[in-house]
Amino acid sequence: MKKSVLFLLAAATVLAACNKSETTVKGSKEVSLNPVSIPSVKAPIATTAFPDNNTIFVSASNNKVKFFEGKTFKKDGSVWKNFEGTVQTPIYWPLGGTGSFDFLAFSTTLPATASWGDGDPTSDDDVAGLVVINYPSNYEAPAAGVKATQDDLLYATTSSSSRSTALPIEFKHALAWVNFMVKSNIKVNIKKIELVNAYTEGTFTVDQTFNTPQVSWTGGTPADKAILNYVDDNTDNTLASVNIDGTTGHEVAVDHVFGDMGILLPAQPIPNFKITYDFGGGELVYTCNNVRGTWENGKKYTYKINITFNEITLDPTVKIYDDVSDMPINL
């Protein structure tokens, strides 16, 4: 009888141990993210504070084997956690295991689509090694009186063996931020600046199968992109051009910001610029084709256009009469 009691006690002890182990699994640390963005850019993100409304799309691998793929992390409290639709659905770190976890993520408010790893969601490939993001068109010149809006594209790669705190993850800018400033030596109305055959859409690839992550852009369909300016951002008195007329706030010799936020573009060779202007005699267009190089992602470019108009003047002279002499007249 005593043996039976002992066996029952032993069985109860084993059962309690099993229950305790199961509780530990349920209570293991949830995977959460603590993102920041590097300064560079819906408007350019120009601080390290990650936007509260941004969703993070993320995949993770452990020892080159998929842990999870294309999950949606949203802000919940002070960190970002996994959501299925509108429901917060925790993902937990696995118990035990060796090696660090690799993470690959991107964030945008545009309807971008992505292919992770080998593109097969059913395989256990290294989804944190490669992502190809199809980035939709990001810019159309707004109508006069309407403020321009654009959306940044951010990406991040990181590795971690820590499972006790929210994962710090620093996002970088996948786009170049291009800005223009103009001034003139006379009164003039700069109507618009156009980028000739620039593209605002394309395919962005992040490949961290190398020791150092590699990124690249493949451009979409190029087109002329006009940048409009709104000179008075705090009132309804908005204009679709810069009037440099010498009055206060519109001084001739001052660099005027052209475009209320510039333009965000995929990395690409620098296109030609077309400047449309008038000073009372109708619109004229000047094409600037002497700027060369490449716009690189994560960099902010500010072009200061100094326009010098040369006055049309005359310097008259009179050609001396040709002397025709010795014209005899015989009577």
Q: What is the DSSP string of 222-248?
A: -EEEEE---S-TTSS---SSEEE-SST
The values of phi and psi at residue 139, to 5°, are: -155, 130
Alpha carbon distance 234, 86 (integer Å): 36
Which DSSP symbol is given to 104? E
The 3-state DSSP class for residue 186 equals coil
Structure tokens given for 127: 């989804």
- Would you state the pLDDT for residue 17? 34
Nearest-CA neighbor of 129 among 137, 119, 140, 142? 119
Task: Report pLDDT digits (tens) over 277-309.
Answer: 998 788 899 998 888 899 999 999 999 999 998
Across the chain, how many H-helices and E-strands are there? 1, 22
Alpha carbon distance 160, 128 (integer Å): 12
Cα dihedral value 138, 144, 147, 150, nearest 10:
10
The mean of the pLDDT values for the chain is 81
142-167 burial code (b ≥16 CB/10 A, e <16): beeeeebebbbbbbbbbeeeebeebb
Residue 229: pLDDT band with limits 50, 70, 90: low
Residue 15: how many CA atoms within 13 Å on its side-chain side? 6
Residue 39: pLDDT band with limits 50, 70, 90: low
Range with the lowest mean pLDDT among 114-123, 147-156, 202-211, 296-305? 147-156
Task: Report pLDDT digits (tens) over 232-242.
Answer: 445 444 456 78
Task: Report pLDDT digits (tens) over 87-135.
Answer: 999 999 988 766 789 999 999 988 899 999 988 888 889 999 999 999 9
- Would you state the pLDDT for residue 9? 28
Overall average pLDDT of the 24-53 stretch: 67
Residue 80: pLDDT band with limits 50, 70, 90: very high
Residue 153: pLDDT band with limits 50, 70, 90: very high
Residue 28: pLDDT band with limits 50, 70, 90: low
Alpha carbon distance 233, 223 (integer Å): 28
Residue 260: pLDDT band with limits 50, 70, 90: low
CB atoms within 10 A of CB 52: 8
Overall average pLDDT of the 200-213 stretch: 88
